[in-house]
Structure 1
Amino acid sequence: MILVAAVAYGWWLVGAHRRGAGWPCWRSLSFVGALALFGVLQFGIVGVYDQTLRWAFVLRLALLFFAVPTFAAIGAPLALLRTGGPARLADAATAVMRSRPVRVLGTAIVSPLVALALFCLLLTPLSAAIRTSAVGAVAITVLVPMLGFGLLAPLSEPGLLRSSTFVTAEFLLAFVELMLDAIPGIVLRITNHVLDGATVMASGPAWFPSPLRDQHLAGDLLWFIAEVADIPVLISLFIRWQRTDRREARAVDALSDDEMDALTREHLSRRR
């Protein structure tokens, strides 16, 4: 996955330069950072012990869902694809990003529910089954970053226009997400029995914690990461709200007095 992503991004970058289009270096560095973090999560300590330790599993899951897609979205691979990639593939990517399911998934109304549902699985016995399964590990490696990127990518789409009222509602709901995402972590931290039913202590080095302590560490990490990860989303929503407000203000300023009077009469007639 790392090799395919690096080759594709580099190929599109070369294509953009051949077409005379500039591309910011900080976007390329952000995408490289996403690949590097993905590699650390796969081959580092959390990738080695994620099947035996809850905190390693939760840390890997949360960072694959929040951090890796965030750095990848800042790298703007879809915009680079439109700039330097094959036209047919760029058109297909644009059609997918503008489809209704992706637009609904990328709103601040739906994305908090997706994150909450994902992390609520950690409170069930299904968490232990996924954590100890080789198939589950592969599914998390592939699907979780894709899901996280699907939630973040619509926020940076330049062709997506929303009203200031909708963006304001998204911004307010993002604050609700601050509380919702923390619920699974809080439950893991304050519960004094093992929720997933895996009460046998994992065999390993002497520093391995007990199952209950392992659960509490997982709760601490999830609680912290879920709160911190919402900050970039809030910043993105605030910037989009400012741009939308300026765009609508320019549209109103461009109206003549007669057009403004007609618009006011139409608004009043609708209210009646």
Structure 2
Amino acid sequence: MILVAAVAYGWWVVAAHHRGARWPWWRTLSFLGALVLFGILQFGIVGVYDQTLRWAFVLRLALLFFAVPTFAAFAAPLTLLRTGGPARLADAASAVMGSRPVRVLGNAIVSPLVALALFCVLLTPLSAAIRTSPVWAVAITVLVPMLGFGLLAPLTEAGSLRSSTFVTAEFLLAFVELMLDAIPGIVLRITGHVLDGATVMASGPGWFPSALRDQHLAGDLLWFIAEVADIPVLISLFVRWQRTDRREAHAVDALSDEEMAELTRAHLSRRG
């Protein structure tokens, strides 16, 4: 996955350059950061112990959901695909981005509920079965970053049009997300018993914590990451609000005096 992503992104950057388009260096660096972080999560300590340690599993899950998609979204791979990629693949990506499921996921009304539902699974006995399953480990590796990217891409990719009223509502609801995302982490941290029922720790190095301490560490990490991860979302919403407000202002400025008067009369008649 890392190799395919790196080759495809690099190929599209070169093609965009040949077509006369300048691609910002910081977007390429952001994509490189996503690949490096993904590799660390796969081959580092959390990738080695995620099936035996709760905190390693939670850290890997949270970073795959929040951090990796954030770096990838700011790299704007879909915009790059439209600029330097194959036309057929670009059209397919545009169709997916314009589909109803992606539009529903890509707003701050639904995304907090998706994140809350994902991490509430950690509070159930199902968490232990998922954590110890090799099949689920592969599914998490592939599907969780895709889900996170699907939530963030509409905020950062060009061509996502919203009214200023809707974007303002999204911005306000993003603050609610600051509290919602933290709920599973808080519950893991303050609960005095093991929630997933796996009280017997697998054999490992001497520094392995007890089952309850492991859960508390997982709660600390999830609580912290969930709060910090909302910062780039708020920044993206603010940038999109500025872009939407500027677009609507230009549309109003382009109206003639007669068109503006007619628009005002229509607005006043609706309110009356």
> Do 2:16 and 2:84's aligned partners in 1 also have CA atoms closer than 8 Å?
yes
CA distance in 2, matches of 1:114, 1:191: 23
Q: TM-score if structure 1 supplies the norm length?
A: 0.97
User: How is 1:11-26 mapped onto 2 (pairs within 5 angstroms)?
Assistant: 11-26=11-26
Does the 8 Å CA contact 1:202/1:208 hold for their aligned counterparts? no
Q: What residue is the counterpart of 1:233 in the other structure?
A: 233
- 2: CA distance, partners of 1:28 / 1:114: 28
SS of equivalent to 2:171: helix
Q: Once the 2 structures are TM-superposed, how far is the Cα of residue 265 of structure 1 from its aligned partner?
A: 1.4
Equivalenced residue count is 272
Following superposition, the deviation at residue 10 of structure 1 comes to 1.5
Structure 1 range deviating more: 50-59 or 238-247: 238-247
SS in 1 for 2:264: helix
Counterparts of 1:46 and 1:227 in 2: how far apart (Å)? 20
The offset of 1:259, in angstroms, is 2.1
Q: Equivalent residue for 1:99?
A: 99
1:62-211 aligned within 5 A: 62-211=62-211
What amino acid does structure 2 have at the position aligned with 1:231?
I
Structure 1 residue ranges (4+ consecutive) displaced by more than 3 angstroms after TM superposition: none
**For the aligned residues, what is the CA RMSD?**
1.0
- 1:248 Cα offset (Å): 1.7
Cα separation, 2, equivalents of 1:164 and 1:29: 31
Deviates more, 1:220-229 or 1:81-90: 81-90
TM-superposed CA distance for 1:21, in Å, is 1.6
5+ unaligned residues in a row in structure 2: which ranges? none
In 2: Cα distance, 1:183 partner to 1:22 partner = 43
Amino acid at match of 1:169: A
2:198·2:211 contact (CA, 8 Å) conserved in 1?
A: yes
Query: Greater shift after overlay, 133-142 or 262-271?
Result: 262-271
SS, match of residue 194 in structure 1: coil
TM-score (norm 2): 0.97
Query: Separation in 2 of the partners of 1:172 and 1:91?
Result: 33
Residue segments in structure 1 that go unaligned for 5+ positions in a row: none
What is the distance in 2 between the residues matched to 1:7 and 1:56?
29
Percent of aligned pairs with the same amino acid: 89
**Paired position in structure 2 for 1:254:** 254
Are 1:106 and 1:153, in contact at CA under 8 Å, matched by a contact in 2? Answer: yes
1:59 maps to 2:59: yes
Shift of 1:256: 3.1
One-letter amino acid of the counterpart of residue 25, structure 2: C
